[in-house]
Chain A
Amino acid sequence: MRPHLPAARQQLEARRHSTLLALVALMSLVGVSLSSSTAVAAAPSLAIVSPADGALIANGTPVLVDFRVSNFVFVQPGRVGQIVLPNEGHANVFLDVQYVRLLTAVEPFSLSLTSGAHTIRIQLVADNGTPLNPDVSASVGVVATHGPQGGVPRVMILSPTPLEATGHGIYVSYRIENFTLVEPRGQPNAPNEGHVQLLVGTDVVMEVIQYEPVLLVSLPEGDITIGVRLVNNDDTVLANPSASATVPIHVVASSAVSLPLVSNGGVALLLAFILIVLILRRRKLAARDANARGGNP
């Protein structure tokens, strides 16, 4: 039959044949590539992109956690008719030991942190909540603080000025830089946060968390030193020398102290003067009497 076919028809047949072959080849190629991708993608992986390990989360802000997942599909757990597949599930997030998030999408999420060191751990789990085998998790350590990100904590005493003569009660005003004051509540230390101690000589007389001037009363008289220093939450002094400041002052008695002395002394002088005048007048009188008696008896 074939030799009887016209040449044009033969040509068409051949072209159709080759197209079919090409299609088959393409399909098999796609099939191979698909099967190879599933074969290689056996191990899901997880990485935390941000924050970096050991990052300082400053200013008391929440931390934004960004992560990447490969070879793993996030699905809503507990769906109708769901079957457990090896490369499908969701992620659990733990802040220290607390379970804080169940993630069903690879999207950044934010966590509020208290001051101190924390560990954020993300773990991939299957649809039924069991960890993958082998376990796939990533963790990152961060340090949270209410203080600023950088800079050297510094304190300066603005008033009193060095060697100033003051009364027994004075306002101490100071300026704090790169340091945030927080209530000391026994929380862990964190960079650039803490409170202020005021010292008279070497004694800590006050612990405050205020930026406004502080009133010191009943200061001992004489040459004394007033100190202001920044301390950690656990009362340890910051290592850097600019976190403490001292100022020598001279405390002098107020006029109220010398008032009894002055008034008593004044009254004594006045009385003594009156007495002397009286005595002198009496003597003069006695002398005149004697003269009169002697002159004309």
Chain B
Amino acid sequence: MNARIFALIVAMIGMLVASGIPASNGRGAPVPTLSIVSPTPNAVMGNGTPVAVVFAVTNFNLTEPGNGTSSPNSGHVDVFVDGALTAKASVNTIVLALPSGPHTIRLRLVTDNGSALNPDITASVAVMATRGPAGGTPGLSIVFPREGALVGTDSTLSFRVTNFVLVAPGGPAGVPNEGHVQVRLDTARYAELTDDAPLHLNLKDGPHTVTLQLVDNEGGPLNPDVSVSLHLTVQALLGRVTPFDATPYLALANLLIGLGILAAIYRKLEAH
């Protein structure tokens, strides 16, 4: 009796050992590995173009999902973008369309039935997607009018933005090279521009200062600040050519004639 129990225990320990060893250190086959080759960590993916994620595996056979052969050394890759399952891949390149902002791409080796390996094998990379260019320093300049220009009450300001893309405000913060243009007129907020269309100004007579500033999606200035100021003098009816402006003389004449009329009436009344 004791001998049978002992034999049973030995057999169970043996089974446990036998089942445990290959699972823990993979005596049958070396442990698979997974690494992301491209993009590099914290890479900026510009122009809103899709991101090509290239990864490498070792000791793992990539197979089309759902082919029915479940083994710890074959299967496919689950792709997570910001924690959400986005794609499955059985080839070494995945092309992902990412919206603007910071993203974490995480890859995980899974067996054909979709379960994670034991131990779990994952690789992740953080990237920054922007609709603007990936590199370059943002610039802003005013094409027209020129500094110190004399303009009419109606005028148009044409500007130029480089290495920066104009998008509607409210996108994620901290995205490089994308945002909008803030316009201040004599220190007061005047307009927010999200496209290249020239700005139409309708200003009172006198000197004015128009300031254009590139701001990020949250409305904060860029670092370093990118802004440009323009000093304008507004004069009504500028550009109107009148051969001889008799208005002041006529006004004077009106005044004198008016006085004459009063004098004439007074004398007439006095005469009676």
Contacts and interface: CB of A to CB of B under 8 A. Distances in A.
B156 to A, nearest CB: 6
Contact of A220 (B161, B239, B265): B239
Given A184-B160, A205-B158, A261 B242 contact: yes
Interface in A189-239: 195, 203-210, 214-222
Contacts of B55: 102
B133 to A, nearest CB: 6
Nearest to A183: B196
A289 B61 CA distance: 132
A42 to B, nearest CB: 27
9 contacts: A80-B30, A112-B49, A186-B136, A186-B139, A204-B158, A205-B145, A210-B197, A215-B156, A218-B239
Contact of B198 (A184, A208, A264): A208
The 8 residue pairs across chains A and B that have the minimum distance between CB atoms? A186-B162, A218-B152, A102-B92, A264-B250, A78-B57, A278-B264, A99-B38, A271-B257
A204 B142 CA distance: 11
Interface in A84-138: 90, 98-105, 112, 114, 129
Interface of A: 76-81, 90, 98-105, 112, 114, 129, 168-169, 183-187, 195, 203-210, 214-222, 253, 257-258, 260-261, 264-265, 267-268, 271-272, 274-275, 278-279, 281-282, 285
B59 A278 contact: no
A169 B200 CA distance: 12
Contacts of A209: 196
Given A221-B241, A253-B240, A260-B247, A268 B38 contact: no
Given A168-B240, A203-B144, A261-B246, A100 B38 contact: yes
A193 B240 CA distance: 38
A275 B240 contact: no
B104 to A, nearest CB: 20
B193 to A, nearest CB: 12
B163 interface: yes
Interface string B66-100: 00000001100000000000000001110000000
